[in-house]
A = this chain, B = another copy of it.
Amino acid sequence: MSDAARDLQAQAAKLDGEDELSAKRAEFALDDTVYLDGNSLGALPAHVPERVADVITRQWGSLRIRSWDESGWWTAPERIGDRIAPLVGAAPGQIVVGDSTSVNVFKALVAAVRIARGTGEGHPEGGRDEIVVDATTFPTDGYIAQSAARLTGCRLVPVAPADVPGVLGERTAAVLLNHADYRTGRLHDLPGLTAAVHAAGALAVWDLCHTAGALPVGLDEHGVDLAVGCTYKYLNGGPGAPAYLYVRRELQDRFDSPLPGWNSHAEPFGMRPEFEAADGALRGRVGTPDILSMLALEAALDVWDGVTVDAVRAKSLALTDFFLRCVEAYVPEGLVEPVTPRAHAERGSQVALRCEGAGDVMKRLIEQGVVGDYRAPDVLRFGFTPLYVSFADAERAARVLARTLG
């Protein structure tokens, strides 16, 4: 073993020893794999199987239809929304869980355009006809934004996040941004961009898929208007677990959903032909909630008991710093190029490395028990979930990477 390796392994051991979150790892079903793909699919919290078995066998199997009331199925979307709220800096009553991220982006954008057009004397219906969208975003956001624009008579304006302030104006209705770039891991300036959007009289819609559960978001503090996110990455809700929608309290009575299903009715069991929207965040609900997945997510959220997002963020930055240091020490210069920013303020919870033949390299890493993922055309992506990734994992990942490239 080289001196560098001996030194870094000692440092990893020391950092793990001082890690206040280290005990959390035992709450997950993990083997000796170095799992750095929690930014794609979070690991299984160990108590989830038993909880889901109870939902299926007792709640569905024995209580059957009674569980809509007796097992709290009916209120799950808002109850679980309130569990997610503190993780994204939201007071209760502003988040509902349900549907996919894509569907929630659609609700949020159409509703945002409607609010922007209806607000204030100076902005008559039709006065604002542009939706600005992050051109570097995960593609689904752009596709859905295009559809929302088409259906509301808007023009889509795709720009890089840094260029957003330059395109804002009195025609801007809504701006859809990703909090972190899914490919590079770059963290965007949510407070600053939100303020710029507001200064132009438009609404800011944020996609939190790559940040919720990994770093503080501060939705209420920064006056974000609407937000969406998935729950299967850093929130460990399970494959395709339902997404969520945040609607800032002050906007809820103007939230006019394009998907006004019976679950968002003021009186869902009144079975009335006329639609009358429920009060509050419930307006974001649509159809019958998907109970098995929703209650698996609810169980998964128990791992957050006693954890602060600030502690998670501190460990995330320490982990990604340390990983970058190990990569520098182990991997010969020129073989990989970090595309994730060094500056903490600009870094999410992943490290992306540009690398020749990245697809093949990732396959070989996975064969050796280091699981990240590959994003076309040339990016190795390593996600760091502070609840279960250790500094020793980071060191091993860099070491295996160096051996694979060497």
Contact = CB atoms under 8 A, between A and B. Distances in A.
Interface of A: 29, 31, 35, 37, 40-41, 43-44, 48-49, 52-53, 56-57, 59-62, 64-68, 73, 99-103, 106, 110, 135, 138-140, 142-144, 146-147, 151-152, 158, 183, 230, 232, 238-243, 257-263, 265, 269-273, 275, 286-294, 296, 366, 371, 373, 375-376
Contacts of A375: 271
A263 B135 CA distance: 19
Contact of A273 (B48, B158, B371, B373): B158
A101 B142 CA distance: 24
A144 B238 contact: no
A269 B101 CA distance: 17
Contact of A37 (B64, B146, B291): B64
B292 A139 contact: no
B44 A273 contact: no
Nearest to A52: B56
A238 B55 CA distance: 10
B286 A103 contact: yes
Contacts of A140: 261-263, 287
Contacts of A263: 102, 140
A112 to B, nearest CB: 15
A119 to B, nearest CB: 19
Nearest to A43: B64
Contact of A101 (B52, B271, B288): B288
Contacts of A258: 106, 147, 151
B64 A292 contact: no
A29 B57 contact: yes
A209 to B, nearest CB: 10
A240 B291 contact: yes
A101 B29 CA distance: 34
Given A49-B56, A52-B292, A261 B102 contact: yes
Contact of A49 (B53, B101, B240): B53
A105 to B, nearest CB: 9
A284 B49 CA distance: 31
A177 to B, nearest CB: 15
B265 A139 contact: yes
Nearest to A241: B290
Given A230-B288, A259-B147, A261-B144, A296 B56 contact: yes
Given A147-B260, A262-B139, A239 B99 contact: no
Contacts of A56: 44, 48-49, 52, 238, 296
A140 to B, nearest CB: 4
Contacts of A101: 287-288
Contacts of A296: 56, 292
Contact of A239 (B53, B73, B239): B73
Contacts of A288: 100-101, 230, 232, 239-240
Contact of A41 (B64, B243, B289): B64
- Top 8 nearest A-B pairs (CB, nearest first) are A100-B287, A102-B261, A102-B287, A239-B291, A140-B262, A44-B61, A240-B290, A29-B61
B43 A376 contact: no
Contacts of A271: 138-139, 183, 375-376
A132 to B, nearest CB: 14
B64 A35 contact: yes
A142 B102 contact: no
B61 A240 contact: no
A41 B62 CA distance: 12
A377 to B, nearest CB: 9
A287 B35 contact: no
B65 A41 contact: yes
B43 A286 contact: no
